[in-house]
Amino acid sequence: MRVSRVWLLVPMTVAFILSQVLARSATSLRGWRGLTTPTVLTGISYGWLFAVSPVLCLDRFGISS
């Protein structure tokens, strides 16, 4: 069974949303330790976005030479 590459965007979007929910729930009482997990999730999500976007563009539009 072959799955479309567009489905790679779903877990990335979930990670972005989860990082924002975790960042919102971080309180100033926990300090920087409360922001560690949301920051790591945001970084992973952005890395995923910049890694997957060129593949999706090539898959959609192809390479013209």
Total domain count, the chain: 1
* Alpha carbon distance 33, 35 (integer Å): 5
Distance between alpha carbon 53 and the CA centroid of its chain, in Å? 11
Asked whether residue 2 is domain-assigned, the answer is: no
| Tens digit of each residue's pLDDT (9 = 90 or more) over 10-46 | 999 999 999 999 888 876 666 677 788 889 999 999 9
Could you tell me which residues come within 8 angstroms of residue 42 by beta carbon, excluding any fewer than 6 positions away? 16, 19, 23
Asked whether residue 7 is domain-assigned, the answer is: no
* Alpha carbon distance 51, 36 (integer Å): 22
- Residue 51 pLDDT more than 70? yes
Reported pTM? 0.78
CA quadruple 32, 48, 16, 8: dihedral, nearest 10: -150
Asked whether residue 51 is domain-assigned, the answer is: yes
Asked whether residue 50 is domain-assigned, the answer is: yes
Asked whether residue 11 is domain-assigned, the answer is: no
Q: Residue 47: which domain range?
A: 34-60
Asked whether residue 14 is domain-assigned, the answer is: no
